[in-house]
Structure formats: structure tokens, C-alpha cells
Amino acid sequence: MITVNKKLRLHLLLQNGLFVVLLLVLVSMLGYLAFEFRTQWDISQNNRNSLSKASLDVVQKLNGPVMVTVYATHQDPQLGDIRKIISDFIVAYQRIKPDLTLNFIDPIEQPHLAEEAGVRMNGEMVIAFNDRSEHLTTINEQTFTNALMRLARSDQKQLMILSGHGERKLDGIANRDMGDFGKKLTENGFRGEALNLASTMEIPSNTSVLIIASPQTDLMAGEVDILLDYIERGGNLLWLVDQESLYGLLPLAEKLDLTFTPGVVVDPQAKRLRAPITFALGTIYGQHAITEDFDFISVFPFARQIIFNENEKWQGTSLVEVAPEGWVETGELNDAPTFNETDDVAGPVSVAVALKRTIDEREQRIVVVGSGHLLANTYLGNGGNIDFGMNLVNWLAGDEDLITIQPRATIDSQLILKEPALTVMVISFLIVLPLLFLVSGIMIWWHRRRR
């Protein structure tokens, strides 16, 4: 039996003291390392706790500090702690951009500051970058990233959309109009305005992109001359063409060295996916800035073929080819169209072409799409149509750095467990585990008592 004398007691005291000191040093070092080197893993189904690639691309393009000021009270009667909600949201951006700062101002305690900032509601955010600012009243990744995208633009881009001939309207709500696409353009820093050549004898010089969206009546010769002069001077153009007549724009097609074949594209692949056979699916994309890393199916309803004739003036690229197993139907469409070797054109078929040339030491850009339905309100939500449309306009406006995929909605925001699973979890963690610890403790105590 070991006799505990004074020397042994001192030895044990030193030993225990050294252990406590080393333990404290170890805990302190681990705390320091955890503070300096933070590592996280997002194991949610679609990485909903991480920023999307689109947001990462936009944030990395912001060269300079970004300041977010939130005008919010400590507690909102309906939303609760708004400040915590926003702080938890912003931290994902701050991990990527450390110079993105977040400040809070209570609009009740400091009403003059809220009034100077033009704040209208509790929780409103003001994002400032390069002496420009954006106000946000809703918070989610898409709206916040879109605000950053608008701030990243050097200036607001002016879009002019031709009107007066039954064209699709950029602010229209009819099925054939493009109002939903117009809203998306506005969210991303574009300003759209109708252009009637009957009342304006020239296209404004500040036009970033002119849009011709499926006219329904013939343009007068004088109007066509204005368009040709705009192209001759180096203007950028987005031309959406349906399968009907060109409505007086044949001279424009000739100037661009394009050929529009008659007929509508038939795509058997669409029928296999339970879509109308006249909905051509875009799955083959050309090598171009517009389609770089574009990994979505686009839908071109009632599309027509566009052929670019090689020439020395324009450099052309086929953006999208559809119907590799289909054809261009030149006959009457019925429920089960068949390929006619004599008259029809076998796929794949090009339905979108990008042209460019250098003029006055700058690059002129033109895109022609053989389906105006692509961006119509009815079909905009199909596949990646909206992303493809945004990429088109961004490239035409010279903002190819901002060509990106729009942030996606989360698909696993809730964890729903069935009742048996919940019962097992409750029994395991609230009953079984505590009992195991209790029994283990009793057994250890009883074993030590017997020694």
C-alpha cells in the first residue's frame, strides 16, 4: 500500500497543476487557431448556405469596398430580430469579400439619418459602392446579387425597342409581349424605351442596344434606311425573327449576309419530353462568350433556321443548334409531321447567330434569333430562356464580364421528417442516451467503491 507523505502530495500537486496549465494552453491554442483559420462545409442538398457561382462571379468583380447600411429597429413586430436575419445573410458575402461592411442605424432613434437616406420602411438596406447606391426592401440572394450587379456597371445601359409595327413590347403584359424579360433587364441596370421611327428621324446616339422584336406589319422604306444607317454607323442590335415574313427587313438581312429559310423547326426530342414537337430544344451551343459555361436547355418555340453566309465584313458564330434528329418542316404542320427529303432541311439547325466586326476602333455586335417567342411572357420561364436572354443583352451591351447565370431558388429550405423518424430521434437523444450515461456513471462509482 502506497503511503501518501508530504513529498508525494507535493509531487501530485505539481503533476496536476502542470496538467491544468497544459490543458489551458492547449485550449487557448485551439481557440486561436479556430479564430484565425475558419473552415466550413455546406452539406445541404444544393449548397443553400453558400453563395451560388453567379453571386461569386459578381462579388469578385467589385474592386473596392462595399458598405451596407441597414435602417432597422432592434425588434420588428412582425419579423422579429431583423438585424440578426440580415447579419446571418450578409456573412456569406463577407466571407468572400472581407471589405464588405455592415452597419445598422435605428430609424426611430436617428430619424434624420433615415430621412436623409430616403428610407421608407423598417429593415431597408442601402448598398453603397463607388459613390453609387442601391436600396433594397427585400432580402434574398437574387435581389442582393442583382443590386451588386447594377452597382458593378459603370453606367445605366440604354435599350431602345422598335415600336409602331405591332412589335413585342418590353413592358407589355400580353402573352406575346416581353414584359417579364423587361423587368429582369431593369433589375440588372438596363433602361428600356420604345422607339418609333415615324416620330424620330434617327436612333439616339446613346443607344447601347436596339431591339427589333417580331414586327407584324411592314416597315416603311424610310424607316429601313434609318436602321441600315444605324448598322452602318456601328450600332448594336438584337433582332428577334419569327417564321412569318420579314416585314420589309429583307435589306437588313442582306446587309448582315443572313439567309432565313422558310418553314418551322420540328424537334422529335421535344415530343419525347412531352413538349410540342414545334418546340426546338437548344442543347448544342457554339463557342462564344454568350454561351460560355451555359449548361441549360433553352426552348425555341416555332423557330426558323438562320444561315450565316461567310464573308469578309462580318465574323459570325452559330450560337445555338437545335433538332439534331429533326428538320425544318416546309409543308403543312399536322399532328405527326414527317421528314420530306425533297423539300425539308435535316437537322441540326442553327436558330441563333452572333455577328461582330470592328468599326471605328470598337467592336460592333449583333445577335439574330429565329424565335421571338423565346423571350415572350408565355415561354420565358421554360428551361434557361431567361438566362440565355440576359447573356445576349449583356454581351451586346459590352458587359460580357457580367454574363452570368441568375441565382437559383433553394430547393431544400426545409427538413421534413416522418413521424416514426422523429419518434426514434426523440427516444434516442432524450431517453436512451441519458440513461446510458447515468448507468455508466453508477457502474464506475460502484466499481471504485469496491476497490
pLDDT bracket for residue 223 (50, 70, 90):
very high
Average pLDDT over residues 361-389: 92
Domain layout of the chain by residue ranges: 53-151, 156-332+343-402
Q: Which cell is 23 given?
A: 490543458
The region of weakest confidence among 147-151, 175-179, 226-230 is 147-151
What is the per-residue pLDDT for 141?
83
Stronger pLDDT, 412 or 295, i.e. the higher one: 295
* Alpha-carbon distances, residue 125 vs 90, 100, 219, 335 (angstroms): 11, 14, 47, 54
Say which range, 135-149, 377-391, 428-442, has the weakest mean pLDDT.
135-149
Looking at domain 156-332+343-402, what is its CATH homologous superfamily? Class I glutamine amidotransferase (GATase) domain (3.40.50.880)
373-402 exposure pattern, b = at least 16 Cβ within 10 A, e = fewer: bbbbbebbebbbbbbbbbbbbbbbbbbeeb
pLDDT tens digit sequence for 316-325: 999 999 999 9
Q: Kindly report the pTM of this predicted structure.
A: 0.70
**Residue predicted with more confidence, 137 or 409:** 137
Helix (H) or strand (E) holding 396: helix 385-396
What does the pLDDT look like over 226-266, one tens digit per residue?
999 999 999 999 999 998 889 999 999 999 999 999 989 99
Least confident range from 59-68, 99-108, 330-339, 430-439: namely 330-339
Q: What pLDDT sits at residue 48?
A: 67
Burial class (CB in 10 A: 0-12, 13-18, 19+), 91: exposed
Sorting pLDDT into bands at 50, 70 and 90, what band is 189? confident
When pLDDT is averaged across residues 110-119 and rounded to a whole number, the result is 87
- Nearest Cα residue to 374 out of 259, 305, 282: 282
137 close to 124: Cβ distance less than 8 angstroms: yes
Q: Extract the runs of DSSP E, i.e. beta strands, from 251-314.
A: 258-260, 264-266, 279-285, 298-301, 306-308
Q: Which residue has the higher pLDDT, 406 or 249?
A: 249
Look at residue 371 in the predicted model and tell me its pLDDT: 93
Predicted pLDDT at 65: 92
pLDDT of res. 385: 92
Give 347 or 44, the one with higher predicted confidence. 347
Query: pLDDT of 282-315, one tens digit each?
Result: 989 999 999 987 888 999 999 999 999 988 899 9
Q: How far apart are CA 54 and CA 58, in angstroms?
A: 6
Residue 407 has a pLDDT of 56
* For residues 92-106, average pLDDT: 90
Q: Which residue has the cell 457561382?
A: 53
Quick: pLDDT tens for 1-29: 556 677 778 888 888 889 999 999 999 99
Look up residue 431 and give its DSSP letter: I
Cα–Cα distance, 264 to 329 (Å, whole number): 5
* 122-151 average pLDDT score: 85
pLDDT score at 355: 95
> What integer is the mean pLDDT of 355-367?
92
Give the 3-state secondary structure of residue 369: strand
Q: Give the integer Cα–Cα distance in Å for 153 and 390.
A: 14
pLDDT digits (tens, 9 = 90+) for 325-345: 999 988 877 777 888 888 888
Mean pLDDT of 62-89: 86
What pLDDT is attached to residue 415?
Answer: 67
pLDDT at 253: 95
CATH number assigned to the domain covering 53-151:
3.40.30.10
pLDDT on residue 354: 95
C-alpha cell at 222: 424610310
Provide the grid cell at 197.
421611327
Based on its alpha-carbon atoms, the radius of gyration of the chain, rounded to whole angstroms, reads 32
pLDDT band at residue 401 under the 50/70/90 scheme = low
Tell me the average pLDDT across 211-232: 93
What integer pLDDT is reported at residue 150 of this predicted model?
80
